C-alpha cells in the first residue's frame, strides 16, 4: 500500500502554483534590487516608498500585480504614475519560476536555478538601464546557484555533474575573456566576463553540449537583435547594446530544453 496522497504530476502542479506565488513576491523584491543596487542604495532600508512623494507604501498597496491593477498604476497618495515595468518584472519572474518547475523538474538543484534565474532577470534589467552588471548581484546569485548544485550532488552522489559544471564554468570564462580582451572591451564589458563562469556552471550541470548550445543561442539571438536594431535605427549608427540579457536568455533556454538538446545530440552518435 502506498501512502502517496498525490501523483507526481499533481505534486508538480502544486509546486508550480506555489512557485508562481512566491515568484511574484520575489519579482516584487527584484524591482527594489533593479532600482536601488545601481544607485548604491540599501535594499533593506528604508522600506518601499513612492519615488515622487516619498510616502511609504503600505502592505495592502504592495501586493504584486494586484495592487498595481487596483490602484490603476497610480500612487494612492500623490497619484503619480507607477512604471508599468514593475508588474511586468513580477509577472515575468513568476512565469520563469513556473516554467522552471515544469521543465527542470522537482529536484534540490531546481531551487538554485530559480534563484539564479531571478538574479539574471535583475541583472538583465540593470544592464538594459545602465550597461552594467553589478558585482554584488552576480556573486550573490552565482554563489546561491553553486551552493544548491553542491548540496544536490552531495545528496545524489552525481559528482561527475559537478565536474562538468566546473569545466564549463572555466571554458565559458576563458572564451568570453578572450573576446573581451581581443576586442579591447568593445564586443562586451568585463561584467559579462565576470558572469560567464556562473552561466557555464549552470549549463554544464546538464552536460557539455547543453553549455555549448546555450552559448550558440546567446550569440545567435544577440547578433540577430543587434542587426535588427542597426537596421531599424538607420545603419552605420553605432549603438551600444547590452550583451548580458542575451547571455542570460541563452542560458535559461538551454537549461529549460536540456533534455531535448541532449536527446538531439545523442541522435548523431548512434
Ligand atoms: Zn506618491
Per residue in 222-237, pLDDT tens?
999 988 888 888 765 5
Interhelix angle for 85-104 vs 8-36, to 10°?
140
CA–centroid distance, 79 to ligand 1, in Å, is: 6
> 3-state SS of 63-84?
CCCHHHHHCCCECCCCCCECCC
Ligand 1 centre and the CA of 72: distance in Å? 13
CA of 136 to the centre of ligand 1 (A): 29
User: Residues 48, 19, 37, 241: what is their CA dihedral angle, to the nearest 10 degrees?
Assistant: -130
Residues of the chain with pLDDT > 70, as a percent, come to 96
Whether pLDDT at 1 is above 60: no
The answer, yes or no, to whether residue 43 has pLDDT greater than 80, is yes
Residue 166 backbone phi and psi in degrees, to 5:
-65, -40
What percentage of the chain exceeds 90 in pLDDT?
79
Question: Ligand 1 centroid vs 49 CA: distance in angstroms?
Answer: 8
**Ramachandran region of residue 133, left (φ > 0), alpha (ψ -120 to 50) or beta?**
beta
**Residue 106 grid cell:** 522537482
CA distance linking residue 2 with residue 5, whole number of Å: 8
Average pLDDT of span 121-148: 96
Measured in Å, residue 124 CA sits from the centre of ligand 1 at: 27
Cα separation, 11 vs 2, in Å, equals 15
State the cell numbers at 145.
546557484
pLDDT at 69: 94
Question: How many angstroms does the Cα of residue 9 sit away from the middle of ligand 1?
Answer: 45
Residue 259 has phi, psi (to 5 degrees) of: -60, -40
Residue 25, pLDDT score: 96
Q: Read off the pLDDT of each residue in 46-69 and give the average, rounded to a whole number.
A: 91
* Domains of the chain, residue spans: 7-106, 108-270
CB atoms within 10 A of CB 212: 18
Do 172 and 218 contact (CB within 8 A), yes or no?
Answer: no
CA 51 / ligand 1 centre spacing (Å): 7
- The pLDDT value given to residue 194: 97
Q: How far apart are CA 34 and CA 30, in angstroms?
A: 6
* pTM for the predicted model, two decimal places: 0.93
CA angle 66, 23, 218 (to 5 degrees): 120
The DSSP call for residue 40 is T
Residue 28 CA, ligand 1 centroid: distance in Å: 18
Distance 120 CA to ligand 1 centre (A): 29
CA of 83 to the centre of ligand 1 (A): 12
- Tell me how far the alpha carbon of residue 68 lies from the centroid of ligand 1, in angstroms: 13
Q: Ligand 1 centroid to 86 CA: how many Å?
A: 15
**Residues 238-251, mean pLDDT to the nearest whole number:** 90
The sign one gets for the Cα dihedral 96, 99, 104, 105 is positive
- The more confidently predicted of residues 6 and 192 is 192
Mean pLDDT value across residues 205-232: 93
Q: Which of 86-95, 204-213, 226-235, 249-258 has the lowest mean pLDDT?
A: 226-235
Residue 270 pLDDT: 58
Q: 37 C-alpha to center of ligand 1: Å?
A: 21
Above 90 in pLDDT, residue 92? yes
CA 186 – ligand 1 centroid, Å? 40
For residue 185, what pLDDT is reported? 87
Model confidence over 176-205: pLDDT tens digits?
999 999 999 888 899 999 999 999 999 999
Residue 266 is predicted with a pLDDT of 85
> What is the pLDDT of the chain when averaged over all its residues?
93
**Count of alpha carbons within 13 Å of 97, Cβ hemisphere only?**
26
The residue that leads in pLDDT, 233 or 1, is: 233
Whole-number Å distance, alpha carbon 56 to ligand 1 midpoint, is 9
Amino acid at each position: 500500500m502506498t501512502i502517496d496522497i498525490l501523483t507526481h504530476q499533481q505534486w508538480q502542479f502544486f509546486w508550480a502554483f506555489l512557485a508562481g506565488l512566491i515568484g511574484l513576491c520575489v519579482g516584487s523584491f527584484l524591482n527594489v534590487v533593479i532600482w536601488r543596487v545601481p544607485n548604491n542604495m540599501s535594499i533593506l532600508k528604508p522600506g518601499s516608498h513612492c519615488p515622487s512623494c516619498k510616502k511609504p507604501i503600505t502592505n495592502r498597496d504592495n501586493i504584486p500585480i494586484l495592487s498595481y491593477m487596483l490602484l490603476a498604476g497610480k500612487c494612492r497618495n500623490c497619484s503619480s504614475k507607477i512604471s508599468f515595468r514593475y508588474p511586468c518584472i513580477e509577472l515575468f519572474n513568476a512565469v520563469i519560476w513556473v516554467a522552471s518547475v515544469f521543465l527542470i523538474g522537482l529536484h534540490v538543484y531546481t531551487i538554485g536555478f530559480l534563484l539564479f534565474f531571478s538574479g539574471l532577470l535583475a541583472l538583465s534589467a540593470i544592464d538594459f538601464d545602465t550597461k552594467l552588471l553589478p558585482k554584488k548581484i552576480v556573486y550573490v546569485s552565482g554563489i546561491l546557484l553553486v551552493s544548491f548544485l553542491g548540496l544536490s550532488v552531495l545528496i545524489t552522489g552525481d559528482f561527475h555533474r559537478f565536474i562538468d559544471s566546473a569545466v564549463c564554468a572555466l571554458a565559458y570564462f576563458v572564451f568570453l575573456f578572450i573576446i573581451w580582451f581581443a576586442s579591447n572591451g568593445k564586443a562586451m564589458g568585463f561584467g559579462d566576463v565576470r558572469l560567464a563562469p556562473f552561466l557555464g556552471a549552470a549549463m554544464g550541470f546538464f552536460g557539455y553540449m547543453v553549455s555549448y548550445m546555450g552559448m550558440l543561442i546567446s550569440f545567435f539571438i544577440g547578433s540577430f537583435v543587434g542587426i535588427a536594431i542597426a537596421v531599424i535605427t538607420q545603419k552605420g549608427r553605432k549603438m551600444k547594446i547590452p550583451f548580458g540579457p542575451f547571455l542570460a536568455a541563452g542560458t535559461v533556454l538551454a537549461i529549460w530544453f536540456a533534455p531535448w538538446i541532449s536527446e538531439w545530440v545523442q541522435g548523431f552518435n548512434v
